[in-house]
Amino acid sequence: MGIREAIGKGFAVARKSTNLVFVLFAFGAVFNVLNVFLAPPPPAAGAQPLPPSPAMIVVGIVFVLLTIYFQAGSMAYVRDFVKSGAATLANFTAGGGKYYVRLLLLGVAVAVIIGAFVLLAAVLAGVLGTAVPVLAIPVAILLAALGIYFVVMLFLSPYAAVVDEQGLKASIKTSMKLVKKNIGKLIGITLWVILIGFGVGIVLGVVLAGVSVVIKAQQPVQIAFAVLSSLVNAFLGVFVTAVFMNFYLSLTDRNNA
């Protein structure tokens, strides 16, 4: 599958999945608006920013844990939509429960890998910075590059877990195998997705700048931003999932749509 075809199919699925977009929008809007009300007030001139409140920390943890459910459900919904041309929210709820643990474990695995490379880079940079300063920066750069490489290798593992019903180890192996063979296309699609998101972000920023000119009060503007950005992110979330779902299915010859 070419880059243009993957992007086009992603937009097509997102446009036809208004029920899923609405669910993701409602979820994001609730938490974004909550954050507006729970965020500490801006510090006075010259003062240190206030730390997040305990309530805000709890909301953040709940948001992360629920996000995994919504991501798992979205992937199952998009998978069924791409394969059969139709899906309902029953596909979403079933997938959210079925694949939650798998995606949670994959998220933990990625976090552990990133943490290990960051810790190793910090330790080696500290040691080399004292003993052999000229090697500290190159070694840190090399470890950062290796960390990014391993994360990229795991990029398709959630799709292997959802599409092929694979566990943690098997999905990681499948992802590494497919990414190595298709790294050029994967990077190309990812860059286009990033550019599209960046472009949408610029438009959103311009719109909200206009809103802030009309509405002088800060909190209403923040609420408007929270709601509007939630809608945009919901659509983009389905779009991105559909892009890479189509790409994964094309690689594994399971796209019978």
**45 falls within a domain:** no
Instruction: For the beta carbon of residue 96, count every other beta carbon within 10 angstroms.
Output: 21
Has residue 72 been placed in a domain?
yes
Is residue 159 domain-resident?
Answer: yes
Q: Is 215 helix (H, G, I), strand (E, B) or coil?
A: coil
Residue 82 lies in a domain: yes
Each of the 257 residues of the chain gets a pLDDT tens digit; together they read 778 898 999 999 999 999 999 999 999 999 999 888 887 776 666 667 777 778 888 888 999 999 999 999 999 999 999 988 889 999 999 999 999 999 999 999 888 888 888 888 777 777 766 666 677 777 777 877 888 888 889 999 999 999 999 999 999 999 999 999 999 999 999 999 999 999 998 888 888 888 777 777 777 888 888 899 999 999 999 999 999 999 999 988 644 44
Identify whether 46 is part of a domain.
Answer: no
Q: Are 238 and 87 in contact (CB under 8 A)?
A: no
Residue 257 falls inside a structural domain: no
Q: Six-digit token pair at 251?
A: 């690689």
Angstrom distance (rounded) from CA 6 to CA 255: 12
Half-sphere exposure of 257 (CA within 13 A, CB side): 19
Report DSSP letters for 157-214, one per residue: HHHHHHHS---HHHHHHHHHHHHHHSHHHHHHHHHHHHHHHHHHHHHHHHHHHHHHHH
Quick one: CA torsion of 218, 211, 194, 66, rounded to 10 degrees?
50
Crossing angle of helices 54-84/100-131, nearest 10°? 120
Number of domains observed in the structure of the chain: 1
Q: What is the crossing angle of helices 183-214 and 218-252, to 10°?
A: 160
Q: Which structural domain, as residue segments, surrounds residue 227? A: 3-40+51-252
